[in-house]
Amino acid sequence: MEIPVVYNTLETYLLIAALLLGFGIYGILKNRSLIGILISAELVLCAASVNFMAFNRFLVPDPVVGQIFALFIMGLAAAEAAIILSIIVAVYRNYKSIDPEETAELAG
């Protein structure tokens, strides 16, 4: 049995990142709850990190830069998730729903 070795080419990782971005955009557009949209946004951030790490591994002379960039993306994603989740909890207290169509009123 033989198997193609694809994990040493840049294009494979770029394809994986494009796939993750596609799933993220699909989820953001399709989902009808704020938490579902947040989950899909995490997929998009992950796609960005994979892209940075792929270019870091195959093209960049200093392999530290991409790793630090991906680490900062992770920190920002954690902060963003915490903020969005507390906003969701506040929205739920006011509207008794997390459907984005129902939160159409600006002043509470």
Partner 1 sequence: MTPLLTVEGLAGVVFFGFILLIIFGALVATNAVNLIRAVCGLALCLVGVAGIYYFLQSPFLALMQILIYAGAVCVAIVFAVMLAEPQGVQRLERAHPLAGPGAFAVAALMTWGLAALALRTSWPEAAARVNAGALEDVGRAMMTTFVVSFELISLILLVAILGSLVLARRGRRR
Binding to partner 1, residues 35-54 (CB under 8 A): 35-36, 38-40, 42-43, 46, 49-50, 53-54
As measured in angstroms, the least distance from the Cβ of 105 to partner 1 is 15
User: Is 47:20 a contact under the CB 8 Å cutoff?
Assistant: yes
Question: Is 103 one of the binding residues for partner 1 (CB under 8 A)?
Answer: no
Question: Is 88 one of the binding residues for partner 1 (CB under 8 A)?
Answer: yes
As measured in angstroms, the least distance from the Cβ of 106 to partner 1 is 17
d(Cα 93, Cα 86) in Å, to the nearest integer? 11
Q: How many residues bind partner 1 (CB under 8 A)?
A: 80
User: Is 49:24 a contact under the CB 8 Å cutoff?
Assistant: no
User: Is 27:39 a contact under the CB 8 Å cutoff?
Assistant: yes
As measured in angstroms, the least distance from the Cβ of 63 to partner 1 is 3
Report the Cα–Cα distance between both ends of the chain, in Å, rounded: 65
d(Cα 57, Cα 64) in Å, to the nearest integer? 9
Within 53-82, the residues that bind partner 1 by CB under 8 A are: 53-54, 56-65, 67-68, 70-72, 74-82
Candidate residues 48, 86, 103, 106; the one interacting with partner 1 per rule CB under 8 A: 86
